[in-house]
Chain A
Amino acid sequence: MKTVGKVSGIISNIVIVKAEGAVGQNEICYVYAGDTKMMAEVIKVTGDDAYVQVFDATRGLKIGDKVEFEGHMLEATLAPGLLSRNYDGLQNDLEKMDGLFISRGSITDPIDFERTWEFKPLAKVGDKVSAASWLGEVKEQWITHKIMVPFVMTQSYTVKSVAAEGEYKVTDTIAVVTDSEGNDHNITMVQKWPVKQAVRCYTDKPRPSRVMETGVRAIDTFNPLAEGGTGFIPGPFGAGKTVLQHAISKQAEADVIIIVACGERANEVVEIFKEFPELIDPHTGHKLMERTIIICNTSNMPVAAREASVYTGMTIGEYYRSMGLKVLVMADSTSRWAQALREMSNRLEELPGQDAFPMDLSAVISNFYSRAGLVKLTNGETGSVTFLGTVSPAGGNLKEPVTESTKKAARCFYALSQGRADSKRYPAIDPLDSYSKYLEYPEVEAYLGEKIEKDWVKLVYRGKTLVQRGKEANDQINILGDDGVPVEYHERFWKSELIDFVVLQQDAFDDIDANCPMERQQFMYKKVLSICEHDFTFADFEACSKFFKGLINLFRQMNYSEWQSEKFYDYDKQIDEYVANAK
């Protein structure tokens, strides 16, 4: 029997419900405004009063309106057929909704229950299995989608039967397993999981050791993101957070990419809808959309569903991770989610923390980031969820609660600077403020030493030092004047400019420069470094700046040329001659 209740209070999208029975914290319920059925979540219980946040507009709702409790928390539906879909924050398929406008209470199926899948069994009768064990597989796009023992089944089981190879619907039974007490359980290809709980069906969560290539030089070369790692991009508006995230989502070396557009602009999502079905994944040659899932809860969609959207995205990520895949989850922007928490907390009249955010903000954020990671599955394979979030600090001030809480939780920090954005130095990742903790991991150092070249990390630190020294020299020049400092100061400054213009800056709107593979990054970086290591002798500071401006121009043309093309090598040669002349 479902618990029912009646509306007894309405404050914007918080509704107070007199419940006639038991209700659970975070339980899902439906609130009926006339014929419209709206989903809501319990966020506080006091006596008989359940405070629920409605994932829709409460216009016209009246005291005494009916409420039905569902007896479970907010769940994601996990099954083959999630890839390429466009969901709202509650996993309703936006494509399936009728009409131009999203009408209130629109609920659509997250997957296609009618279509069939070519199932191949993996498990054999008598196998010992537990949650997330692979029973079989289907081909979803070009990805091998494992059919697993549902995550909610916590015991050990013995496989009693597995379906033969053939076409099945997701709701067909594909295996029967027996628990220790001899009870049989039918397993289908579809399962559900409460989004706010982490999926923990793995044996081990080691430290990340591999690097996830993104094609963005300022990240891969200077502050690499580990596979299974976490990172965040804070930046004031206009600094290029979204452009950077889109670039990464197009180029990252991942099997599955989940983009959570959380409380941001609808036109940005439209861009993804339009571009991704046409763009090609540079690593596999398949269409980008085939490996992408979009969860879209734009800023004008219901606030409460904003919070749900990041959890829905993460849960789907964990699902694909359990298949031994490399998953990248990106959320733009986590600040909007934090603001949604603030709006709720405010309406519940909780005592506020800093900037009126809820007191547990920091805990909520670190808890969420901790769901990412590289994991060892029960069968010895590995899978990973890499998480990259953006943060939109109020007033561009990084000393605000969301940025500070995220800084404690994420291992990579890509600070976008207003100054760089103003002078159109994109991506505006600040080379000195940003960091990747993974560079300090011996595992990562060893991996990069193997994958790129020996002592690569040392070269990275060398480049960072040169940028730092260039900045210091520039400060001196600004204080003492061009003539007030030795020419070497100018040389130092211009060497850092060379690194900035050639390595750190990248044209996200140029077909060639937008994506820079690691091999090319290595080539360019070493070429730039070798010039920086040379001590030139310039007559005066004007000769110095003239030389470097010319050099930067040649390097930029090289960045715009196709990798290893004739044009590319032509510029390479020109640069060598240009430098040789100056020596």
Chain B
Amino acid sequence: MTTRAFQKIYTKIDNITKATVTLRATGVGNDELATVGGRLAQVVKIMGDSVTLQVFAGTEGLATNSEVIFHGEPPKLRVSDNLAGRFFNAYGEPLEGGEQLEGEAREIGGPTVNPFRRLQPSELIATGIAGIDLNNTIVTGQKIPFFADPDQPYNAVMANVALRAKADKIILGGMGLTNDDFLYFKQVFENAGALDRIVSFVNTTENPPVERLLVPDMALTAAEYFAVDKGEKVLVLLTDMTLYADALAIVSNRMDQIPSKDSMPGSLYSDLAKIYEKAVQLPNGGSITIIAVTTLSGGDITHAIPDNTGYITEGQLFLRNDSDTGKVIIDPFRSLSRLKQLVIGKKTREDHPQVMNACVRLYADAANAKTKLENGFDLSDYDERALKFAKDYSEKLLAIDVNIEITEMLDTAWALFAEYFSKEEVAIKAELIEKYWKA
């Protein structure tokens, strides 16, 4: 940001913490950007003539006489079709050099779509992964995170989903991404010949953590440009939202706010909702779908970050290592897509809802049988069959390396039913049994 004429330069900072500085200044607007000793900062609190700024890059090395220049406007992104195919940092500046962006400068973190103007999401996103398409169907305009432990291949699954999803644009918001993962994404997209559809805003682990706070808003401002102005189907990938929330906690801590559960700020729910609720199906045919990653610690979903996320998003996808098959599967018990009801059995074959439920119910019976086995009890004939079913189900449908059409998934399920169970045990509506049972 270049300085403009007649801009007032302040050179007396009163207070410096690890993430904020406070100084006396007048005529400053809330949320406005500033440069402090050459680093970007944003106004977070004003009390009379005392202004507190959050310094994104951290305050190491700043002195009480560092120069402070106010920009007179909140953070903005220049939007145009030229965004496509490029990589940016958290401030929306091109990485690896390249020319600066042209186009209209839009405030990031802008207003909310009037709920009355939204359309109901109704377009299925096919990923080929049965753990998603069959059990937890995703729809355009939906927001759904992967809940995964840090050692699980969530970024790979997400990249796969993104490429198969047939989106017009894919926008990657990377927060605290390791450089290796960043290069991985870049390579996968490049190999798929999809680079011209990708826009990336990346904060890697090498960058200061507080910068991450800008990434989702940058990514979503770009997404809104393509979806609202151009009527495109946009898929936004946000990884890893846990690191975003950690950055929120750092800032709130520096501002002496009283922490609530798990040392997170009391406003965590609203902060996350502001991001996820940007997912929308628009009347012009454009849409923003958000697929995010929330890493868990030891699978604990009661921690404030996954807990609040679960209440905001329209379901969640759990990855699990299945010891029976040695594969990573999408856990059918804990995963959920809330919007699947809008398409399953309507945009897909009529038997989809009942087949899906029957599979999960029988898989649950197998889980009970397994518990019995572990406790040293004898298994009934039914238990034995349920266990065999579970293994096949896991291998042929739940595993993340499956890539088939939905109709084929349903047929596979019917074949498994017929192989291991009687019609009564499957307990599906009689009409459907008559039509689809594989004798």
Contacts and interface: CB of A to CB of B under 8 A. Distances in A.
Interface of A: 8-12, 16, 57-63, 86, 94-95, 97, 99-104, 236-238, 263, 265-267, 269-271, 273-274, 296, 298-301, 303, 333, 336, 339-340, 342-343, 346, 349, 352, 355-357, 392, 394-397, 422-424, 478, 481-484, 509, 542, 545, 549-550, 552-553, 556-557, 560
In this complex, the member of A238, A478, A509 whose beta carbon has the largest number of chain B beta carbons within 10 angstroms is A238
A267 B375 CA distance: 44
Contact of B270 (A267, A333, A339): A339
Interface in B302-350: 302-304, 307-308, 310-312, 314-316, 333-334, 336, 338-339, 341
A63 B427 contact: no
A300 B274 contact: yes
Contacts of B119: 270
B8 interface: no
A557 B354 CA distance: 13
Given A396-B302, A481-B377, A300 B28 contact: no
Contact of B118 (A266, A336, A481): A266
A481 B114 contact: no
17 contacts: A8-B47, A12-B267, A60-B32, A60-B74, A63-B49, A95-B116, A101-B114, A263-B273, A266-B280, A270-B115, A273-B116, A346-B266, A395-B301, A396-B302, A482-B372, A482-B378, A483-B378
Interface in B195-239: 228
A483 B29 CA distance: 75
Given A267-B141, A394-B304, A356 B258 contact: yes
Nearest to B367: A423
Nearest to A393: B307
B21 to A, nearest CB: 16
A303 to B, nearest CB: 5
A99 B116 CA distance: 10
A11 B45 contact: yes
A99 B315 CA distance: 29
B98 interface: no
Contacts of A483: 377-378
4 closest residue pairs by CB, A with B: A395-B302, A299-B273, A300-B277, A237-B310
Contacts of B382: 542, 545
Nearest to A296: B115
A99 B112 CA distance: 11
Nearest to B361: A424
Q: Report whether over half of chain A's contact residues are helix, strand or loop; otherwise say mixed.
A: mixed
A100 B120 contact: no
B28 A62 contact: yes
Contacts of A560: 429
Given A237-B311, A265-B277, A267-B121, A422 B334 contact: yes
Interface size class of B (residues with CB under 8 A): 35 or more
A306 B397 CA distance: 42
Given A273-B115, A542-B380, 5 more contacts: A100-B117, A100-B228, A236-B310, A339-B270, A542-B382
Contacts, number: 209
Given A99-B114, A395-B302, A299 B260 contact: no
A10 B266 contact: no
Contact of A100 (B32, B107, B282, B336): B282
Nearest to A237: B310
Contacts of A423: 333, 361, 364
Contact of B310 (A97, A238, A301): A238
B94 interface: no
Interface string B258-291: 1111000011011001100111101100000000
A395 B115 CA distance: 28
A102 B378 contact: no
B150 interface: no
A339 B272 CA distance: 13
A12 B30 CA distance: 8
A356 B120 contact: no
B113 A557 contact: no
Nearest to B353: A509
Contact of B114 (A60, A62, A94, A349): A94
B110 interface: yes
B258 A102 contact: no
B273 A300 contact: yes
Contacts of A12: 44-45, 267
B314 A265 contact: yes
